[in-house]
């Protein structure tokens, strides 16, 4: 993790669940790691950072372990495959649970107020957002329109998702029904600014790491549309994750990267967990 510029967690439970936390200089828990106990003294899993678009594997093997025989390796692979299947089943069950929770919250919410402090501060319209208490609610849907989670934005601009929900490949659309051109942006304020300025539909990907999965979902749904990947220019962040993610997405789906001066209008960086 340190080689990728991320801060390792102080502790880690090897239960296959994603552990989110705030890394160095982070206000939101964008850094994550999950791990499995392989039952033979080794452990492994994945780690990453949603905002930076990092997703990498990790493996730990104590130097004290002797070399495994072919039979032991085959048994280890079998056990790992069983664990993977059980973890995937648990993950899907959690997705469905969060989906039901999100649907209930959204049904009970009211249309977002135009005078919400976040909207006023960004100078944008609420579009089709809803509001629960002081939090704006942004639906997280797949390309078929299935609701999987919600993003909450409080008046100060702090953002969070329902814990355990599906995010990858999901987005929220604002503006007219897509026809010839679809824009993809990271955060709501940027997307709203773009939609107001251009009149084009915009898909909100929520973070840099989700720009590619969302762009792929849109390309499948709208195969002949021009996809404009609107990059957040994170020039102050090493590696400029916003631009890097946008170019990668554009390369993979035949889209076009644009990075106009909307970053000057959206003066507060779109950071999402």
Angle between helices 211-221 and 241-253 (to 10 degrees): 30
Q: Quick check: 76 and 61 in contact, CB under 8 A?
A: no
> So what's the pLDDT on residue 7?
85
Point out the domain boundary residue: 61, 81, 98. Answer: 98
What CATH number is attached to the domain comprising 125?
3.40.50
Same domain for 115 and 28: no
Same domain for 125 and 223: yes
> So what's the pLDDT on residue 57?
86
> So what's the pLDDT on residue 66?
60
Same domain for 111 and 51: no
Instruction: Please give the tally of structural domains in the chain.
Output: 2
Torsion-angle region of residue 137: left (phi > 0), alpha (psi -120 to 50) or beta?
Answer: beta
> So what's the pLDDT on residue 268?
46
Same domain for 58 and 116: no
Query: Could you tell me the mean pLDDT of each successive run of 10 residues in the chain, 273 residues long?
Result: 83 82 80 82 83 80 68 78 85 95 98 97 96 98 98 96 93 94 96 95 94 96 96 72 88 90 47 44
DSSP 171: B
Same domain for 114 and 40: no
Same domain for 234 and 168: yes
> So what's the pLDDT on residue 262?
43
Domain membership of residue 237 as a residue range: 99-265
Q: Assess if residue 58 is contained within a domain.
A: yes
Q: Return the H-helix or E-strand segment holding 184.
A: strand 181-185
pTM attached to this predicted model: 0.77
Q: Quick check: 33 and 54 in contact, CB under 8 A?
A: no
Q: Assess if residue 270 is contained within a domain.
A: no
């Amino acid at each position: 993790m340190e080689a990728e510029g991320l801060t390792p967690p102080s502790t880690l439970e090897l239960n296959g669940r994603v552990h989110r936390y705030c890394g160095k200089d982070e206000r939101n828990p964008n850094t994550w790691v999950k791990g499995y106990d392989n039952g033979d003294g080794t452990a492994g899993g994945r780690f990453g950072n949603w905002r930076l678009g990092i997703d990498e594997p990790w493996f730990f093997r104590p130097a004290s372990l002797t070399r495994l025989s072919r039979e032991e390796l085959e048994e280890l692979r079998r056990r790992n495959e069983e664990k993977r299947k059980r973890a995937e089943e648990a993950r899907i069950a959690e997705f469905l649970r969060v989906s039901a929770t999100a649907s209930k919250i959204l049904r009970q919410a009211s249309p977002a107020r135009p005078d919400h402090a976040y909207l006023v501060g960004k100078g944008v319209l609420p579009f089709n957002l809803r509001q629960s208490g002081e939090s704006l609610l942004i639906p997280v849907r797949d390309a078929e329109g299935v609701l999987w989670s919600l993003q909450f934005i409080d008046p100060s601009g702090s953002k969070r998702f329902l814990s355990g929900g599906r995010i990858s490949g999901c987005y929220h659309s604002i503006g007219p029904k897509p026809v010839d051109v679809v824009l993809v942006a990271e955060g709501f304020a940027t997307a709203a600014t773009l939609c107001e300025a251009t009149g084009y539909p915009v898909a909100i990907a929520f973070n840099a790491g989700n720009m590619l999965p969302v762009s792929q979902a849109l390309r499948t749904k709208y195969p002949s549309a021009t996809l404009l990947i609107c990059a957040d220019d994170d020039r102050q962040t090493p590696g400029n994750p916003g631009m890097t993610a946008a170019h990668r997405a554009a390369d993979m789906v035949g889209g076009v990267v644009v990075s106009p001066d909307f970053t000057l209008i959206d003066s507060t960086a779109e950071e999402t967990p």
